[in-house]
Amino acid sequence: MRQVELTGIKNFECREVEQPAIGPGQAKIAVKAIGICGSDIHAYYGEHPFMDFPIVLGHECTGIIEEISGENTKLKKGDRVVLRPQRVCGACKPCRAGRYNICEKLEVLGCQCPGGASDYYVADEDLFYRLPDNVGFDEGTLIEPLAVAVHAVKRAFREVEGKNILVLGAGTIGNLVAQSVKGMGARKVMITDISDFRLDLAKQCGIGHTVNISRQELAEEIEKVFGKDGIDAVYECTANEAALNQALFLSPKGIPIVVAGVFAGMPHINLANVQDREYTLLGTLMYVEEDYMESIDLVKQGKICLKRLITQKFGLDRMADAFRYIEQNQDRVQKVVLDI
């Protein structure tokens, strides 16, 4: 079968390898689609702090079950599935508390161990979830980032219903956070960015209030849209120091601010306001199974638009072209998917 490996900075090798064999408790899929994510791009430039070469990418992965033990009651050969790319120890303190998304020994498939960028792929069978019939393989790759968004949303609230939400950043995660809170019943949702392209996409996905902070005054827009009640939470999805500081400057007292952006280096942030205004700063990482189930459910109910987010597709053997395309079209790219 074909397998594509990132062997060094901006260098992919596509080669023929043996098909993987399943072990006990595992399933083999015929891979159908792989999504390319921000962390893959960091790896491509050799700038990902927790990824090394060589690596087979592909943590956003869908396919068809090819082989699975007959004892599995949830899945069978021929089922269309999406991967939850987490390998955890099950024994550390976070794992014992059910928070295995922050396992001390967490390995992400496609980041610290091989992912799905190949014709066939084997993983533990409990990491595969059936795709709803109304979701294609391409869109299905977005269930993984959607679960990231759903987990982020839940860090601040059990119930989002009736809340006013501000999302900073309309990249894939920001877009999906905005769609998730809306799907879960938020009252009003506003999303910001500096790119009209990304804000237009958010609009097409049903996000009512978009603000281009390069030419609009965010404080004014917040007042216009949310009135005197203001916002109930902020989701920081830009990984930008200035954006986070803007949230710490504009937000009403006492609200949660969830940091979903993956910051590089050490930003200078206004901790005086965090203290004085009793903000709750919350980190968020990946997801647990419940977030996957909820994501799949939201999509099944038609509450999330995934298709619009896919702006380009390539074949598996054009992985290098796909990354070059992203590099050269940063302002016109949301999600790029590889069809296999």
Which parts of this chain interact with Zn ion (CB under 5 A)?
A: 37, 88-89, 92, 95, 103
Question: How large is the angle between the packed helices 218-226 and 241-250, nearest 10 degrees?
Answer: 50
For the CB of residue 272, give the shortest distance to Zn ion in the complex, in Å.
34
Contact (Cβ atoms closer than 8 angstroms) between residue 82 and residue 143? yes
Cα 289–336–130 angle (5° rounding)? Answer: 30
Q: Which is nearer to Zn ion, 89 or 320 (CB)?
A: 89
CB 82: neighbour CB atoms within 10 A? 32
Could you tell me which residues come within 8 angstroms of residue 56 by beta carbon, excluding any fewer than 6 positions away?
3, 4, 5, 6, 110, 114, 115, 116, 117, 118
For the CB of residue 163, give the shortest distance to Zn ion in the complex, in Å.
26
Phi, psi of 29 (to 5 degrees): -120, 150
Measured distance between the N- and C-terminal CA atoms of the chain, rounded to whole angstroms: 11
For the CB of residue 93, give the shortest distance to Zn ion in the complex, in Å.
8
Query: Could you give the CA distance from residue 62 to residue 130 in angstroms, rounded to a whole number?
Result: 10
Residue 4: what residue type?
Answer: V
Q: Which is nearer to Zn ion, 68 or 258 (CB)?
A: 258
Could you tell me which residues come within 8 angstroms of residue 73 by beta carbon, excluding any fewer than 6 positions away?
none
Beta bridge partners, 283, equal 259
Alpha-carbon distances, residue 229 vs 36, 187, 223, 233 (angstroms): 39, 12, 9, 12
For the CB of residue 288, give the shortest distance to Zn ion in the complex, in Å.
12
Q: Which is nearer to Zn ion, 92 or 274 (CB)?
A: 92
Q: Which is nearer to Zn ion, 77 or 96 (CB)?
A: 96
For the CB of residue 313, give the shortest distance to Zn ion in the complex, in Å.
17
Q: Which is nearer to Zn ion, 37 or 150 (CB)?
A: 37
SS3 track for 11-45: EEEEEECCCCCCCCCEEEEEEEEEEECHHHHHHHC
Query: Could you give the CA distance from residue 181 to residue 163 in angstroms, rounded to a whole number?
Result: 9
For the CB of residue 36, give the shortest distance to Zn ion in the complex, in Å.
8
Q: Which is nearer to Zn ion, 92 or 281 (CB)?
A: 92
For the CB of residue 158, give the shortest distance to Zn ion in the complex, in Å.
24
Q: Which is nearer to Zn ion, 58 or 218 (CB)?
A: 58
For the CB of residue 228, give the shortest distance to Zn ion in the complex, in Å.
38
Residue 299: what residue type?
Answer: V
Q: Which is nearer to Zn ion, 37 or 75 (CB)?
A: 37
Q: Which is nearer to Zn ion, 108 or 269 (CB)?
A: 108
Q: Whose CB is nearest to Zn ion?
A: 37
For the CB of residue 132, give the shortest distance to Zn ion in the complex, in Å.
20
The tokens for 186 are 């938020």
